[in-house]
Structure 1
Amino acid sequence: MEKEIYIHVTKEETKAVVLENGKLMEIYLDRSFQKRLAGNIYKGKVANVLPGMQAAFVSIGLERNAFLYVEDVRSNNHEKTLPIQNLVREGEELLVQVVKEPFGTKGARVTTHLTFPGRYVVFMPDLNTVGVSRRIKSERERERLKKIAEEVRIPGRGLIVRTVAEGVSAEELERDVRELHNLWVLVKEKAARKSAPSLIHQELELVSWVVRDLFGEDVDRLLTNDQETYEKIIELVQTFEPSLCSRICLTSSEFAEQFDLEQEMTKALRPKVWLKSGGYLVIDEAEALTVIDVNTGKYTGTKNFAETVFRTNMEAMQEIVRQIRLRNLGGIIIIDFIDMELPEHRSEVIKQLEEELKKDKTRTCVLGLTQLGLLELTRKKVRPSLSSLLERSCPYCEGTGRVLSEETVSMNACRAIRSIADQEDSLGILVEVHPTVAAFLIGGGGSHLRELEEEIGKKIIIKGSDASHLEDVQVRSLYSKEEIIALSAPVRQGEILDVEVEDAHATNDNDGIARIHGYIIDIENGRDYVGQRVLVKVDKVHRTYAKARILER
């Protein structure tokens, strides 16, 4: 498998992408106005303690207070976790580290168990244990690394040996440990001088983080479009693995265009993902969990239905893992595969899913199938998902993804018309709505408008406005005949108009339809001009529509 990392730098944004066999797999963003917080260490002050939630809120100088759960509080009593009220008190100053970015209305999640990740080890000053990454499979290598870690660690301090340390020498591990210990000493000294709330230590910016955590022997090339970034990467890599410098390349911005990265990012925001076979996925990110639904779509497969389902699920499984990494989905993830009758098919899909997930550096746990046949898995949520970085909730639908239908809005307008007719003694009523809602209010041939006027005993003027949101309804009273006449029709007989023929007429086969503020212009012989702009002359003006003909060009 060919693996590449591309870092695209502009004035406003740094973007790092991971490509596997030319396919976009992961995206990391760092924007000048949207800094990453995970890994930062703050001196915070406990704002309030909540015994009922066994948590506390800590002020760390951000817009929202950080959330500190009882299990994330360091205790001198290692036998049993004490209640939160016995561990912290309001007004107390704590040294905390961000483990989860703020998201939506939630503040950052913090811990008092500080960790300092290096190239080869993670230094844990509050623990007294040594561990080795589970991704290192060789037992002999695991034992070697654990022995070295025991020898080079600071007495009383903990270490976790990272996957990239496989095969490195004791000297390299020891250098990494010493650098991280020195950093810890500096953090303690700075914390002693600063008052809460304040930032004590900032995690590496994106480029340095990518070099430390993503760039290794498994990466064939690391490319960037920026000369300054290229020089910085070379300098960083020379300090720990000079042999990797030959894999670092300076390229042009055309590299991003070659793989159509912007288009791929846009696709990663869509709920529907098509598979090559014709099947598709529907990905729904909710507050509590993410649901992924698998569908056969256009794929009819072979004569064997069970085999068709199995093949679709196998193809979907690979794309699901890619989408999880690409969109950086975290927390609880539920996958609704197409029902498989054969147990061996279910086992194979789960087995291959677990195998594909091993390529993901973020910790994921496959929990298995529920009684309803849904596959449950969890993925550590550290950074915001791609959608939360690039999108915001719709201000109109407030994140539901749905708006009221035209029929519903027209019913709301009818209620508003009746209400104002009962309350005010006016000659008429003006209603301004979206053009599609106006069509419902007027009805076929103006039938519904006539019925409504007869019911309330007043003239009703319906005006469609493209500037109106679909759900907006503006209703006001009209008190003069002159105003009613002026508003009754937006066109006059004999007037020449430049209009776009929007659609064919529903009943007159040869005619076309144009609209001006929702008012219909019936264009004689306009069917062949749908989608084009034409000059028309108004021959006759009616209450709810006008007749017009196309002028010779």
Structure 2
Amino acid sequence: MKKMLVHGQKDMLQIAIIDESSLYEYYMEKTEHAGQLVGSIYKGRVVNVLPGMQAAFVDIGLPKNAFLYIDDVLHPHLERQPKEKPQIGQLLQPGQELLVQVMKEPLGGKGARVTTHFSLPGRYLVYMPIADYIGVSKKVSTEAERSRMRAVGERIRLPGEGVILRTAAEGESLESLQQDVQFLREHWHEIRQRGETASAPTLVHRDADLVHRLVRDLLTTEIDEIWIDDGSVYRKTRATMKRLAPAMLPRLRLFEPQIGGASLFQLNHIHEQLQEASQRRYRLKCGGDLVWDQTEALTVVDVNTGRFVGTSDLEDTVFRTNVEAAEQIARLLRLRDVGGIIIVDFIDMEEEQHREQVMHLLERRVRSDRTKCQVVGWTRLGLLEMTRKKVREQKILPVKDSVGHRDEARS
């Protein structure tokens, strides 16, 4: 059974998604931060243009100027772009004001990465006001449904607009999708109006808070139960679900702990699992282990047999260890929110069939990751290379729940 657990506090909201008691996803947001930067829209001012990098720096009011690459200035539809890429100086000039949307959080000493390819996510679709194309989630199961959704997308968009039909749109009616796109279209019109009258640099639109994103982005039909332990968060979530996902309301539950009893997260051992997932050495159930090392350029995961000696031959022992390792690496990448290049040093396998099975298993498991992952393949040195999109800085923060438990958790 797959459950979503929501733990509310005065200054923090935490969300955990578990499958048969095993933690697979974790999100945390401090209330004073008023949401993430990714998705926010600013009216910025071009500070300088760098022809050698085909990019510009834009002041959007943050401590570090944002980075705008030429591909994020050109039209988002490749067929609408010029055959020869122009110079950045032909498109942007210092002092020029423009609307931009944050696509990557500031990382380390770098400012945010921004784009002019605007997108507004809804429950069933992502609205792109100037993209001029239709997209369908790769997670939609059948080709017949993909074709139906694409046809519906063509009916509900206006000329020049783009929409991406999300997985939640599978099986939904034309009317539901029409309502979603109309709401987002009107919202975009309001954003543009605010942008026209605002003085740069300034924030024009901030993406929704974590409670709204919980319903909009995280709540799928795969979730069997949603448990919330805070009354105000429960009421806010219920109101949001009534508007965005009314069919899921019967799955919503309010958790009311007894006086002196364990909290929702304690009962499900969430903090213990977070602490275990954040350690450099992670123990596998078979007795092997994973050792995680992170550099500025990449993350390396070393797989060891450890105490696992197997029951038959060496190749079988190695293969079984690598299979469990692949399962856990896909899970831990999400919990640790690892981004960038990832190199996995699996234990050497003699049989090519085993190597392919391990790689395909990892590919299947990362498909359910909400962050884009790509398994590149085996290198000539026998290492498995993959990438995971980096949108925010990986960070381990101490989290203290309302009954005094203190552990390490990812921001």
Q: TM-score normalized by structure 2?
A: 0.91
2:30 partner amino acid: R
Report the aligned-residue RMSD. Answer: 1.5
Counterpart of 2:99? 95
Provide the rounded CA distance (Å) in 2 between the counterparts of 1:353 and 1:252. 38
The 5 A counterparts of 1:9-24 are 9-24=8-23
The 5 A counterparts of 1:393-404 are none
CA contact 1:98–1:108 (8 Å) conserved in 2:
yes
The 5 A counterparts of 1:357-436 are 357-387=366-396
Counterpart of 1:36? 36
**Displacement, 1:322?**
0.9
Provide the rounded CA distance (Å) in 2 between the counterparts of 1:83 and 1:7. 49
2:104 partner amino acid: K
2:20 partner amino acid: N
**Displacement, 1:284?**
1.4
**Displacement, 1:77?**
4.5
Provide the rounded CA distance (Å) in 2 between the counterparts of 1:302 and 1:216. 41
Counterpart of 2:219? 215
Counterpart of 2:409? none
Counterpart of 1:238? 242
Deviations 1:170-213 (A, max 9, x none): 00000001001001100100000101100000101011101100
Query: Which of residues 110, 119, 122 is equivalent to 1:118?
Result: 122
Counterpart of 1:411? none
1:215 partner amino acid: L
Residues 124, 281 of structure 1: alpha-carbon distance in 2 compared, 3 angstrom cutoff = same
Provide the rounded CA distance (Å) in 2 between the counterparts of 1:147 and 1:39. 27
The 5 A counterparts of 1:254-293 are 254-293=263-302
Count of residue correspondences: 389
The 5 A counterparts of 1:175-254 are 175-252=179-256, 254=263
Deviations 1:254-276 (A, max 9, x none): 21111222222222321110011
Residues 78, 119 of structure 1: alpha-carbon distance in 2 compared, 3 angstrom cutoff = farther
Gaps of 5+ in 1: 392-553
Describe the SS at the equivalent of 1:283: strand
Counterpart of 2:145? 141
**Displacement, 1:386?**
4.1
Indicate the larger mover: 314-323 or 302-311. 302-311
**Displacement, 1:308?**
0.8
2:195 partner amino acid: A
Counterpart of 1:4? 3
Provide the rounded CA distance (Å) in 1 between the counterparts of 2:87 and 2:398. 39
Residues 304, 162 of structure 1: alpha-carbon distance in 2 compared, 3 angstrom cutoff = same
Provide the rounded CA distance (Å) in 1 between the counterparts of 2:83 and 2:28. 41
Deviations 1:402-440 (A, max 9, x none): xxxxxxxxxxxxxxxxxxxxxxxxxxxxxxxxxxxxxxx
Provide the rounded CA distance (Å) in 1 between the counterparts of 2:362 and 2:277. 20
2:55 partner amino acid: A
1:32 partner amino acid: T
**Displacement, 1:83?**
2.3
Describe the SS at the equivalent of 1:329: coil
Provide the rounded CA distance (Å) in 1 between the counterparts of 2:69 and 2:6. 36
Counterpart of 2:134? 130
CA contact 1:64–1:107 (8 Å) conserved in 2:
yes
Counterpart of 1:310? 319
Q: TM-score normalized by structure 1?
A: 0.68
Larger radius of gyration: 1
Deviations 1:100-153 (A, max 9, x none): 111221111111110011111111112111111111121111111111110111
Provide the rounded CA distance (Å) in 1 between the counterparts of 2:82 and 2:52. 23
CA contact 1:26–1:327 (8 Å) conserved in 2:
no
Residues 77, 346 of structure 1: alpha-carbon distance in 2 compared, 3 angstrom cutoff = closer
CA contact 1:6–1:223 (8 Å) conserved in 2:
yes
Describe the SS at the equivalent of 1:85: helix
Gaps of 5+ in 2: 258-262, 400-411
**Displacement, 1:390?**
5.4
Following TM superposition, the consecutive aligned residue runs of length 4 or more in structure 1 with deviations greater than 6 angstroms are: none
Instruction: Report the identity percentage.
Output: 44
